[in-house]
Structures are given as C-alpha cells and as structure tokens.
Structure 1
Amino acid sequence: MRFGLSRRFFHFLFYISVASCTLKTAGPQIPTFVETSNTTRVNPAPEIVVSTPQRNPTNTTAATASTDSFLVATPTPFDLLRMPVSACDQIRIEGDTTIPDGTVLEPGEVFIKAWKVQNSGKCKWSPDYRLALYQGDALGAPGAINPYFTQPGSIYELIIGTWPPQRFNINPGEIVDLVIILQAPSQPGSYLGTWALINDKGERVEPVFWVSINVVENLDTEHASPWAGEWNINDPYLSSQNLQIRIFEKNTTLFSSFYNTRGEMNLITAWSGKDPFLVNGEYGSPSQPTGNTLVWSMLPGSKDQFQGVNYFGRFTPYPWCGSRPDAPFPDPCLLTLPKED
C-alpha cells in the first residue's frame, strides 16, 4: 500500500466544512434546430427531449447529449421543444464572461462557462428556477441543474473557496453571471450545447443561449496519468446512488466534477506527489469556504480500482472508492490510513 500523505491533507482536517451566448449583433449565428424523430436523452438525468442540431458536416462533429454526458437524477422531466414560453420572464445575454465561442480545449478538460446575463423580464428569478439543456451536447452536465447566479465579471478558478457567493433571487433589471461547470468530450471535434432557463411554472425563458468549444487532441502522451479517464464512484454525500466522473489531469493536479442529487455543482481537485498512485485533495461546492478532504489510493498492481476516504462534516473517515467502468468496486472500499506517531 502506498502512502506518504502531504501536509495539505492534515491541513484540511482542521478546516473541514459541514457541509455562449444568445443572439448577438456580431459573432456566430445560432444553429437552426430541426426537430426529428431521433431524440436524445441525458442519462440518467431527466427526460429532456432534444433533437440533433443541423451542423456543418465537413468541419464539425455532430453534437449529442449521450456518451459524454453524466449524471445525476433530477425530479422533473422537461420537454423543452414543446414547453410554453413565459410571458413574464425574459433573459438578455450581455456577453461571455468565460469560454467565448470556439475556445480550444483538451479532451476531457474541465472548464467553467459563465454568461453575463440580465433579468430583462418582469418577474423575479427565484431559487425554484432551473437551467436545462435545450439542444446539443450536455458537455458532462445533467440535463437539468440549479442555476448558479453570482456577481458579474468575477474570476472563476477550479479551486474550492475562490468563487463569489451564489445569488438565489434575481430581480428584474439585475445583471449577474450565470455559471456552470462543464467538461470537454473525450473525442476531438467541435461541440455545441444550447441551454434554457426554466421558471417555477415550468415555462421556458427566452431566448436560449449556448456554449461552443473545439476539442483538440493532446499529443503529449509521455506524462499520461494513471487517473485520467472515466470512473464509477460512490456518492460522497452518503446517498445510495453511484456516480460517474471523468478525471482530467494537468501538471500533477487532478480535476473532475459532479452534480449531486439536488442538481448542485461539485468540484473535485486533488494532487499527486512522488507516488502517482496516491492523491490528496478536496471536493465540494466551489463557493464553500474550504473543501471536504479526500485521499485516494490505487490498489497495488491495479490501475482499475482505488480505495479512499473522505471527511464530509465529520472527523471519522468515510469510505470513498472507485473503479473503471468495466471493473467492480474494491472490497473493502475504505482506505486504511497509517496511524500518526
């Protein structure tokens, strides 16, 4: 068994918490969406009926919300194409705070998309509003999530504790950033996902808006990570549901994300040291003051299973393990940590 826990891990134990765009005057035109009999559903999330957008077959990869779309169960199915349009709500896209159209990303790269938006309607946006995939590729997100509104023009990093506080009530006329954590697909190509805000009456807020990226293969395989790729993990928040994540590594730092059963964003950040099969890290909402501690260690001789612990509002370690999609979970799941001297 490989250990060698960093000071970062013990530092975490003292700070455990309890837990692009719409139609513009310039830029690319929104694609023409044609409803077909071939619908795509985001699994295993809500039954959001979408159709495949008409794209340029010469230069792009058809965008779908299938193989690279993860997670989580959301309670209400939305048929966005047939959903009534709100007469009271309206959204205006002021611009892209992050990830302008055509941004180049690596396969599997975790990224933060933020739109600068205005509540240009007559109704207040309440905590019961949802952000839902309207067309195209979900880019790692469920089909419906809680929108994350915050102060406009903020700096967003894949580091827990660096985001400004979330806003839950947006009055008419207010301008905010609408932020979502996404992940580039594993295959190179051009991808586009169109999103819509849904009000508390189940009505679509117009207009819709989108994120557009280009995924370019990274030819540097010399430093390939044993952690990169898809994993099944148990839910660190103690629900019975297992999650699917895809890990992206950059310069010995691991990034991933997932959405809990309430549709809330969670970020995973971990660091490897001299032992590449052992990582110390944290997870949680990007806006919480500090992350919840995690330690993961691959089983000796295996790159398909890892044991782990997490500390979600407790000083007693809780098992948090994972396996590749075609491998079983390790037994036991709990990583046994060495005793302090």
Structure 2
Amino acid sequence: MEIDSKTRNIILSTVVALIVLLIGVALWRQSRTVAPEAMSIDVTPQAGATAETTATPAASVTATLAPNAQEQAAASPSPNSCTNNAAFAGDVTLPDGAEVQPDTATVKTWRIRNTGTCTWGGDYQLRFAGGDQLGGPDSMAIGTEVAPGAEFNAEIPLVSASEAGRYQGQWIMADPVGNSFGQVVYYEIVVPGTPAIAY
C-alpha cells in the first residue's frame, strides 16, 4: 500500500508531536524545579523517514536541562556527600489522643531516629509543617549532634487551645538551609469540654 506525500507528512508530524509531548511530560515529572527558559528541545526529522517502513523513531530528539546549583551538587556527589533522612521512633510525651486542659502549657516530645548518612549538627531543626500550631515555634534547632543510626528527643513547647476539641499539628526535620526531609511527626491532643455539674 502506497501512502501519498500529504498523508505521510501528517503521520510524521503527528509522531513527532507525540514524541515531543511524551518527552516534555517525562522531563516535567523528573524535575519540576527547572525553569521553562532553562529547558530546550530540538526536534529534527530524519531525511527519508516513513511511518510504515522503519522501526526507528522518525525524529531525533535532544533535551538539555540547565540544573540549578543545588541539583548540580546532588548530581555530582563529592566524597563528603551524604543523605538526610529521619524516622519516627516513638512518642515520649503526649501520646495520640492525650487530654490536655484548656490554655495549658505543655511540651510534646518525640523520639526521632537519624536514618540517613549525614550527621545532624545542632543547627538542624524541627520545623512546623501544618495543622494546629498551638503556640509552638515555627522551627526549633535540635541543639545536639545526631549520628546516622542514632536517636534523639525532639521537644516542642505548646499551649493547648481555649476551646474544646481535637487538635493536631505536623512537624518535619530540616537541614541548616531549610530543606525538609524524613517522616512527618505529629501531635494529637484533645481539649476536653466544660465538665457537667452534677446536682
């Protein structure tokens, strides 16, 4: 079956457009932090390519990304490079669902394990990530060195809400420059309502 020139050009254009679209989606998913102006895609149809007679792609696609400095550092590890990671190891104070009277100052303490390969310095921090902050700080330096595989107690001062209800706040570890990492830890407290008076 012979395909006329117009049909062949339509097929070729469609194939090239699909390839460019797929590469664009793959690049977007791979690195969402790359600015659009830092990405270029060059598509050059190969001479004599036909949709029915070749199993090779009908286009040559070259994608070039200009990574930012952080991506370059991560992409080319030095002998001193390491990975930050953290995991919840347990509640030390205020287990989930603990009752705390209204307007009461308290401290939530979690046990957190360093599951990465970096040693955390005292300038690493536990940072508020969402939910009910309950008067806690935006972030708090851990104030101690934690080697890979070691655990430490992370403490956050809180003041319970004035109104009855269930309150939850999420916190996450962050390195000295503010990059979050590891498992989110949270508190969940219950502020009881006004007790009924028996007559």
Length-normalised TM-score, structure 2: 0.54
Cα deviation per residue 1:19-58 (whole Å; 9 max; x = unaligned)? Answer: xxxxxxxxxxxxxxxxxxxxxxxxxxxxxxxxxxxxxxxx
Q: Are the counterparts in 2 of residues 106 and 218 from structure 1 also a CA contact under 8 Å?
A: no
SS at match of 1:194: strand
SS at match of 1:99: coil
Residue in 1 aligned with 2:85? Answer: 90
- 2:133 aligned to 133, 138, 141, which one? 138
Residue in 2 aligned with 1:183? Answer: 159
CA drift of 1:219 comes to 4.0
Q: Are the counterparts in 2 of residues 116 and 178 from structure 1 also a CA contact under 8 Å?
A: yes
SS at match of 1:176: strand
- 1:200 aligned to 159, 176, 180, which one? 176
CA drift of 1:218 comes to 4.2
Q: How does 1:93-242 map to 2 (within 5 A)?
A: 93-147=88-142, 168-219=144-195
SS at match of 2:109: strand
97 and 103 in structure 1: CA distance in 2 versus 1, 3 angstrom threshold: same
List runs of 5+ in structure 2 lacking aligned partners.
Answer: 1-81
Q: How does 1:311-330 map to 2 (within 5 A)?
A: none
Provide the aligned length of Structure 1 versus Structure 2. 116
* Identity percentage of aligned residues: 29
Q: Are the counterparts in 2 of residues 129 and 199 from structure 1 also a CA contact under 8 Å?
A: yes
Cα deviation per residue 1:259-288 (whole Å; 9 max; x = unaligned)? Answer: xxxxxxxxxxxxxxxxxxxxxxxxxxxxxx
CA drift of 1:201 comes to 2.9
Q: Are the counterparts in 1 of residues 140 and 156 from structure 2 also a CA contact under 8 Å?
A: no
Q: Are the counterparts in 2 of residues 107 and 218 from structure 1 also a CA contact under 8 Å?
A: no
Give me the whole-angstrom Cα distance separating, in 1, the residues matched to 2:95 and 2:89.
12
List runs of 5+ in structure 1 lacking aligned partners.
Answer: 1-86, 148-166, 222-341
Give me the whole-angstrom Cα distance separating, in 1, the residues matched to 2:123 and 2:141.
8
Q: What RMSD, in angstroms, separates the aligned Cα atoms of the two structures?
A: 1.9
Give me the whole-angstrom Cα distance separating, in 2, the residues matched to 1:175 and 1:92.
9
Q: Are the counterparts in 2 of residues 103 and 214 from structure 1 also a CA contact under 8 Å?
A: yes
Q: Are the counterparts in 1 of residues 103 and 160 from structure 2 also a CA contact under 8 Å?
A: yes
Q: Which has the larger radius of gyration?
A: 2
Give me the whole-angstrom Cα distance separating, in 1, the residues matched to 2:94 and 2:157.
11
CA drift of 1:141 comes to 1.1
1:184 maps to amino acid? S
2:150 maps to amino acid? E
Q: Are the counterparts in 2 of residues 135 and 193 from structure 1 also a CA contact under 8 Å?
A: yes
2:168 maps to amino acid? L
